[in-house]
């Protein structure tokens, strides 16, 4: 028969109290019930643990080793039993994925806001394309992810954080032809102007699909997919290789690295992506979710707010 925690607790009580009668009183059971549990423990281990004398009990050599091991097991059990309450009070350590087309621009602001939160949340951050993050969430390798929504999966709960609009990006001379269309120019007008190829991220990036969706009328032979990062994509369009749509969260950062990169805001409704916090549905209601969501929303809104003031557009982020 397996060793039970009850047996270990009763055995520990006997050792600490020096007799079966006092041990039974300390754990609020009858002496026969306690004696039976200790005897079952001895039978399971195959040798006596206690020498029973009129003056009390004495540990056998095996009993001394079992007592020491019992203390370790019971201490770990107490730690396990209180872990839920301690976790609920914080600090929280969670594994969060951030889509790679957002992470470099967004992570610093997120961590700063988490440091200022009333309860401490420590993140283990993973950066990857959206499809990989979803797979890792479903496999249990991530607790949550910050990426484009909606996903529409029953196993995952979603919470929208902010809207990340796309701006047309390229060299000034390429954008000049499109600027001639005026303030009413839309993404659907791009394919009707002779301004060169459309560059997007490779097929493993959902942002590339979103850009193609916004520019669905662009001639397929003039669509080039292959860049694996927004930094590479921005450098290409800044060199004159074509045009692209960049999320406003990344635009100013990439312009700093590629000064020839210029932007044009499209007419409303602007193409955009919705960024959300996605977590496994079983975590619903855990306090760290609200803390991470509030910090992530604030970090995202700060990024898009600066972009809209600098590039043009609404000063206040829309939700």
Backbone angles phi, psi at 211, to 5 degrees: -65, -45
Identify the pLDDT of residue 47. 92
Q: Which two tokens stand for residue 55?
A: 């003056």
Checking if the pLDDT of 143 tops 60, the result is yes
What average pLDDT does the segment 261-280 reach? 90
Identify the pLDDT of residue 116. 86
Checking if the pLDDT of 33 tops 80, the result is yes
Residue span(s) of the chain under CATH 1.10.10.10 come to: 5-88
Please state which architecture CATH assigns to domain 164-272.
3-Layer(aba) Sandwich (3.40)
Q: How far apart are CA 272 and CA 211, in angstroms?
A: 9
Identify the pLDDT of residue 193. 59
Q: How confident is the model at residue 316 (pLDDT cuts 50, 70, 90)?
A: very low
Identify the pLDDT of residue 209. 76
Q: How far apart are CA 56 and CA 92, in angstroms?
A: 47
Class of domain 5-88: mainly alpha
3-state class percentages of the chain: helix first, strand second, coil last, to nearest 5? 50, 20, 30
Please state which architecture CATH assigns to domain 94-161+276-311.
3-Layer(aba) Sandwich (3.40)
Q: How far apart are CA 97 and CA 219, in angstroms?
A: 35
Which residue is it, tokens 């009183």? 25
Q: Summarize pLDDT for 101-134 with one digit per residue, the tens.
A: 999 999 999 999 999 887 788 899 999 999 999 9
Q: How far apart are CA 10 and CA 4, in angstroms?
A: 10
Q: How confident is the model at residue 277 (pLDDT cuts 50, 70, 90)?
A: very high
Q: What CA–CA distances, in Å, run from 216 to 17, 41, 194, 209, 278?
A: 80, 73, 16, 10, 28
Q: How confident is the model at residue 142 (pLDDT cuts 50, 70, 90)?
A: very high
Identify the pLDDT of residue 45. 93
Are the CB atoms for 319 and 152 separated by under 8 Å? no
Are the CB atoms for 132 and 205 separated by under 8 Å? no
Identify the pLDDT of residue 52. 86
Identify the pLDDT of residue 175. 83
Checking if the pLDDT of 317 tops 50, the result is no
Residue span(s) of the chain under CATH 3.40.190.10 come to: 94-161+276-311, 164-272
Q: What is the largest CA-CA distance in the chain?
A: 105
């Amino acid at each position: 028969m397996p060793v039970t925690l009850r047996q270990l607790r009763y055995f520990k009580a006997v050792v600490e109290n020096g007799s079966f009668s006092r041990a039974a009183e300390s754990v609020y059971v009858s002496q026969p019930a306690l004696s039976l549990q200790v005897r079952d423990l001895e039978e399971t281990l195959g040798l006596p643990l206690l020498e029973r004398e009129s003056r009390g009990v004495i540990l056998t050599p095996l009993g001394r080793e079992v007592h020491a091991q019992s203390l370790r097991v019971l201490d770990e059990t107490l730690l396990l039993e209180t872990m839920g309450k301690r976790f609920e009070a914080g600090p929280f350590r969670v594994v969060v994925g951030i889509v790679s087309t957002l992470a470099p621009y967004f992570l610093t602001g997120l961590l700063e806001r988490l440091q200022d939160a009333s309860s401490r949340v420590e993140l283990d951050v993973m950066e990857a394309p959206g499809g990989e993050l979803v797979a890792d969430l479903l496999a249990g390798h991530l607790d949550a992810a910050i990426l484009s929504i909606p996903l529409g999966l029953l196993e995952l709960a979603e919470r929208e954080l902010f809207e990340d609009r796309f701006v047309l990006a390229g060299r000034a001379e390429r954008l000049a032809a499109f600027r001639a269309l005026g303030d009413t120019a839309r993404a659907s007008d791009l394919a009707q102007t002779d301004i060169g190829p459309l560059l997007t991220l490779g097929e493993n990036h959902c942002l590339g699909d979103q850009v193609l969706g916004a520019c669905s009328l662009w001639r397929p032979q003039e669509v080039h997919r292959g860049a694996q990062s927004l930094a590479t994509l921005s450098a290409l369009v800044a060199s004159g290789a074509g045009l692209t749509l960049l999320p406003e969260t990344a635009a100013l950062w990439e312009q700093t690295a590629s000064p020839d990169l210029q932007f044009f805001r499209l007419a409303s409704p602007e193409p955009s992506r919705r960024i959300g916090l996605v977590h496994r549905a079983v975590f619903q209601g855990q306090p760290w979710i609200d803390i991470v969501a509030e910090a992530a929303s604030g970090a995202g809104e700060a990024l898009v707010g600066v972009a809209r003031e600098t590039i043009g557009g609404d000063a206040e982020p829309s939700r």
